[in-house]
Amino acid sequence: MNSLRRQLAAKLSIGITLLTTPIFVVALGILFLYSHHLLYQDTATHANNILQTTSQHLRSELGLVENAVNSNAWLMEENFRPDSLQSICHRLLRLNRTPVTCQVVTDSVEMSNIKLGFSVDTTANGDTLFYYSRALRPDGDAVKGIVTAGLPIKRLKTIIKQAEQPFPVCEFLLLENDQTFDTEDAHVFYDELPDTDWTLALICPDSEFEKSYRQLAHIAYFLFIGGLLLILIICYLLTRHTIKPLHKLLTHTKNIVSGQYAEVIPRSNRKDAIGRLQNSVVVMQQSLLEHVDSIRKTGEETKKHNEELARAQMLAEEGVQKKAIFIQNVSHQMRTPLNIIMGFADVLGESLAAQQDSASQSLLQDAELADITETMTHNAIHLRRMVQMLYDSSEYGTSQELFSGKSEYVTINNIAQECIEYTRERFPKTTINFESNIPPRAVVKTNHLYLMRTLRELLFNAAKYSDGQHIMLRISETISTIRFTVEDVGPGIPSDTLGMIFKPFGKVDDLSEGLGLGLPLAKRHALSLGGDLTYDVDYHDGCRFILEVPK
């Protein structure tokens, strides 16, 4: 290490000695630097003047567009009618040579996308235009429209090309205000265009700035500075060759300390102490990379494994919970109609036994028998409906529906009437209105069974959960579908539960009747028929479901 220090001290001493030049050479260098500064300021001032002149030409051209729009805006506000607006736009283009396009936008959606003032946009045919937009207020305060006039950016480019160039290879660029032109070998001057989001930039290569300086100092450069520059270059190369590896090692070491291991330190071919030190650091970095990669991989695998375990546990718990809720719901929904049927069966049995023992008339009147029979029938149908839903939701029922044919010609109005009559039999006090905008004998090619089940389910829910007096089944057609609309007046479905109405076993209220399969099965039937079943969220008086099947 001491030898390394001595060698480094000797080399630095030589460099410092070589840099100790006579005072007159230093004075000459200072004079040259000052001259160079003056030349640079003069050249920069000249370039800025040309930039401002060109920018003023662009401002004038844009001002013509702005004046043309402002001078005709009051006329548009006084005559705010489509035909008058079009005529005024044509007048604007006819009387002003600068704008090439003019239009008035009155649609609120399109107006929201237009920026007032100056903006840039590209047309459908690929032309880029500068636009000036102004709001139209024919009534005073409210904005009713926006008038927009466009100027081709090609015209601005023509003005820029015709501008005076401070140097033969300078270039003008139009940039957005938040943009800059980053370059290491050129000077860039900027001038913002007022009332726009654009800036005019003048790019002048460094070679043009240095040309005057080189011409002025050519003789002095070779006579007085040539030898000094040669000495300085030799000293710089020797010092850099000695110190550069140490600086690189210091940079890499700081990166390793901060946790940045990706940048690989190259091996050195030098045989001195610095080269051996660099190669030792390379070996250390490779060892660190191997350990860090091993730790990172272990951490990622552990994290992934933990996430999979958490996901599996969550799915298992959710499945157990759904299974328990479903079994409890099914047992409750089936137990209720079975208890009713068994209770009335006991009543009928007791009545028959009493009649046989007393050899007299039945203890139950005909009206009571009719009510009992109707109740038992209703609950038996309800029980059969739940069993049918469970069968349809099973894997076998799904497969049967998937492979069912859809080649039956079904009379549209007739199947609607059949479903209405079926619902009225289950709910005698229900009023169901029917409207149809299609011919009486119009047919659709579909599956009769699943179309009927879907309509029955919609009417059944409307009769069960509404006031039962304002149910409407409406049939209409679109270009490609037949639309069945079932709406009612009632409490409707809460907005926070709309996402679960078509999910199997999803219920708005866990205490309500049903298995949560009616609407999901109806949705599946509609999709299997090539159509869809949707809920109209814009209807707020109750529920409105729309069933569409292809023609």
CB-CB contact of 524 with 401 (8 Å): yes
Residues of the chain with pLDDT below 50 are 1-2, 4-6, 9, 360, 397, 511
CB-CB contact of 32 with 225 (8 Å): yes
Length of the chain: 551
Burial state string for 192-228 with b = 16 or more CB within 10 A and e = fewer than 16: ebeebbbbbbbbbbeebbeeebeeebeeeeeebbeeb
Cα–chain center distance at 28 = 65
| pLDDT at position 4 | 47
Write the pLDDT tens digit of every residue in 237-274. 666 666 667 767 777 777 777 767 667 777 777 777 77
Can you spell out the DSSP letters for 171-200?
Answer: EEEEEETT-----SSEEEEEEEPTTSSEEE
The Cβ of residue 451 has, within 10 Å, a number of other Cβ atoms equal to 26
**Closest by Cα among 488, 483, 417 to 456:** 417
Write the pLDDT tens digit of every residue in 168-211. 777 777 777 677 777 777 778 888 877 777 787 877 777 766 67
- 364: helix, strand or coil: coil
Is residue 195 left, alpha or beta, with left meaning phi > 0 and alpha meaning psi from -120 to 50? left
State the DSSP code for 501.
Answer: T
Q: Which two tokens stand for residue 551?
A: 């023609």
* Amino acid at the residue 492: G
Question: How far from 86 is each of 139, 274, 511, CA to CA, in Å?
Answer: 19, 81, 65
Radius of gyration from C-alpha coordinates of the chain: 44
| pLDDT at position 549 | 92
Q: Which two tokens stand for residue 354?
A: 């009493």
Is residue 192 left, alpha or beta, with left meaning phi > 0 and alpha meaning psi from -120 to 50? beta
CB-CB contact of 494 with 508 (8 Å): yes
> What is the 3 state secondary structure string of 244-294?
HHHHHHHHHHHHHHCCCCCCCCCCCCCCCHHHHHHHHHHHHHHHHHHHHHH
Site of tokens 């349809």: 392
CB-CB contact of 454 with 525 (8 Å): yes
Site of tokens 């492979």: 403
Average pLDDT, the chain: 76
Question: How far from 520 is each of 18, 254, 447, 502, 517, CA to CA, in Å?
Answer: 91, 62, 18, 4, 5
Distance separating alpha carbons of residues 349 and 468, to the nearest angstrom: 35
**Domains along the chain with CATH numbers:** 51-209 (3.30.450), 394-550 (3.30.565.10)
Q: Which two tokens stand for residue 103?
A: 């239009």
∠ CA 515-516-517, rounded to 5°: 90
Distance separating alpha carbons of residues 91 and 228, to the nearest angstrom: 73
Distance separating alpha carbons of residues 550 and 529, to the nearest angstrom: 8
Write the pLDDT tens digit of every residue in 112-145. 888 888 888 877 777 778 888 888 888 777 888 8
CB-CB contact of 187 with 44 (8 Å): yes
- 149: helix, strand or coil: strand
Distance separating alpha carbons of residues 227 and 170, to the nearest angstrom: 34
Write the pLDDT tens digit of every residue in 339-352. 666 666 666 666 65
DSSP lists the bridge partners of residue 119 as 131
